[in-house]
A and B are shown apart, each in its own frame.
Chain A
Amino acid sequence: MSAADTTTTQVPPPRRHSSPPGRRPGRARATRRRRYLLGRAATPWLLLAPCILVLVLVLGYPLIKLGTLSFQDYKKPQLWGFKPATWVGFDNYQAILTDHEFWSVVIRTVVFAGSAVILTMVIGMLVALLLQRVSGWVRTLVNIALVASWAMPVVVAVTVFKWMFDSDYGVVNWTLSRLPGVDYTGHNWFASGPEGLSVIMLQVVWGAIPFVVITLSAGLTQVPKELEEAARLDGAAAFGVFRYVTFPIIKPLVVMMTTLSVIWDMGVFAQVWLMRGGHPEPEFQLLTTYSYEKAFGVNDYATGSAIALLTVLLLLGVVAVYMRQMLKIGEVE
């Protein structure tokens, strides 16, 4: 009933290998088997070799390079090999950390990602709970819509949202103007940063909810009905049942989804980039676009790397929680 249970793969029940520890023959066979497997210790590593090789080349090496870059002076001449990269110590970091613009980008990113994650998780949870109460045909309809919106490529979804929120012909402005006393005709959603980022957030949340709902729905079906019923008989209100019975059971799933959402929402790039036509204004910059702009806009790869690394550090706190979960999986395996 712990975190690991819902996330790990366990051996399906009818298996003779996992015979209870007390039974002699089972253990003897296991020992023999282990010895046999140890004898062929090289085989698994041979099988793993290509995978590890690729990951080290395109992930491990760049990760180290990201670290070293951030302590160097690396601009266009270095990229083209005219000049060697020189070490500058903490100069890049000092320049970034004393820059007001950087800090406003950090705050913007944290607020953006934080709100997106909260919205995604809360709405996702509510929809998942709702799906348990509706009739079968409604559930099917909602599931189809969710899977369709889940599958939509991000670029396509962003294009559609841009169109829906168009100032002149957008369906959103038209719909809002139908409300009594509201006139949104010709309203430009991207005139101000906060409003534009809200639209972008809406798109991010819309795209993220299906995954959360579908996963949580699967988790909710595993909550024993008897437990909920018992709580209800004991006089718990609907919220109490959720708070004290349902939620604790699906909590590991919620923790996992939240972590993943944080990682994804901190990494939002294409949405901002595309909504602003490839040139996000200063008040639209998030850490990702900011780092990209520094590196590929003004060719200061070192500063860009330092910003990227700081972003990763910012994420690390959250990922640490997730890692603990993963380590538990490793133990059960």
Chain B
Amino acid sequence: MSALTSRPTAANAGRLAAVSRRRRNAKLGWNILGLLVFVLAAFPVYWMINTAFKPAKDAIDPKPHFFPWPVSLENFHRALNISDFWGPVERSLIVSASTVVIGSVIGLLAALAISRFAFRGRKVVIVGILTVQMVPLVAMIIPVFLLLNQIHQIDKLSGLVLTYLTFVLPFTVWTLRGFIVNIPKELEEAAMVDGCSRTGAFIRVVFPLLAPGLVATSIYGFIQAWNEFLYALLVMSQDHQTATVWLGSFTTQHGTEYAPMMAGSTMMGIPVVILFLLVQRKMAAGLTAGAVKG
């Protein structure tokens, strides 16, 4: 292709023009298909926001309104007042934040162990952590419930934090390991040659470099804990439900009031989407860290 275009002789200029026209047409076709994918992928998100911001009576007009005009916040008022909204949100925040803090500390230590130390059984630990991620949590719900019942953690936020660690921890360890591996060991060694202890070298050299990765991992873990539904449904009682269960029961109790429900969904979903957009690139980098061959 490049060989052709570099020698635009008069003879094949016409043919080249035809080829490029055909290519432009093909590109147009692909772009149209791409836009179609965009519309299909984005539609549910758009429809949620659209419904949330229009007056409730427009939402149940048999002829759909495709733009929220006039913009109205009445659905948000209704969603906030229909039942306790801030209680569940507060509980979700407490649970997610505790899970992430505990998970990050424990996870960081474990990640350091498997990325910076050579020891017997390291391979077993790595495979173990990867395997644990494969355990379907739904299947574990009965024994976990009985365990929490035994140690009196039913209907307690601490019990929920404990169960959330099962999926936040393995993931945190694996991702942080990816970030740590990307930090050259030489930096630490140089610091140790200059008289730092191993711990000192870590705190002064590795930790600052790791911080952005740690933040990204934490945010991702936070999102996962915030979104969790099944265990929250089972462990917490009606009076202490978390935000996801709140939205879920919004469905069952006031089934027909879709407009306020979309307002509730928007309030729960949009912060998560924004957080996710912030860290997604970083996370992808961490997950595939070093996977690309040099």
Contact = CB atoms under 8 A, between A and B. Distances in A.
B276 A151 contact: yes
Interface stretch (A99-107, A193-201, A319-327): A319-327
Contacts of B38: 138, 141-142, 145
B48 A62 contact: no
B47 A163 contact: yes
B222 interface: no
Interface residues of B, number: 107
Interface string B244-265: 1001111110010010011001
A146 B261 CA distance: 23
B44 to A, nearest CB: 5
B16 interface: no
B252 A278 contact: yes
B109 A304 contact: no
B277 A155 contact: no
Given A58-B163, A150-B276, A48 B113 contact: yes
Interface residues of A, number: 111
A62 B148 CA distance: 10
B159 to A, nearest CB: 10
Given A10-B293, A151-B272, A169-B62, A45 B280 contact: no
A88 interface: no
A301 B130 CA distance: 29
A62 B31 CA distance: 51
Contacts of A130: 30, 33-34, 37
Contact of A145 (B42, B173, B258, B290): B42
A149 B284 CA distance: 16
A209 B42 CA distance: 12
Nearest to B26: A133
Interface in A1-20: 5-17
A159 B261 contact: yes
B196 interface: no
A44 B119 contact: yes
Contacts of B170: 55
B139 interface: yes
A8 B47 contact: no
A34 B45 contact: no
Contacts of B265: 156, 159-160
Contacts of A43: 113, 117
Contacts of A157: 44
Contacts of B26: 133
B113 A153 contact: no
A161 B123 contact: no
A218 B119 CA distance: 33
A117 interface: no
B169 interface: yes
Interface string A178-212: 00000000000000000000000000001001100
Contacts of A288: 138-139
A47 B108 CA distance: 9
A231 interface: no
Given A51-B109, A169-B60, A267-B137, A66 B142 contact: yes
B190 to A, nearest CB: 12
Contacts of B109: 47-48, 50-51
Interface in B97-156: 106-107, 109-110, 112-114, 117-120, 122-127, 130-132, 134-147, 149
A253 to B, nearest CB: 10
A51 B106 contact: yes
11 contacts: A8-B290, A38-B118, A66-B143, A69-B142, A134-B27, A148-B42, A151-B269, A206-B44, A210-B41, A270-B229, A291-B138
Given A130-B34, A288-B138, 17 more contacts: A37-B117, A37-B119, A48-B113, A54-B106, A79-B146, A130-B30, A145-B41, A149-B42, A154-B227, A159-B247, A206-B44, A229-B1, A273-B233, A295-B145, A311-B139, A312-B139, A323-B131
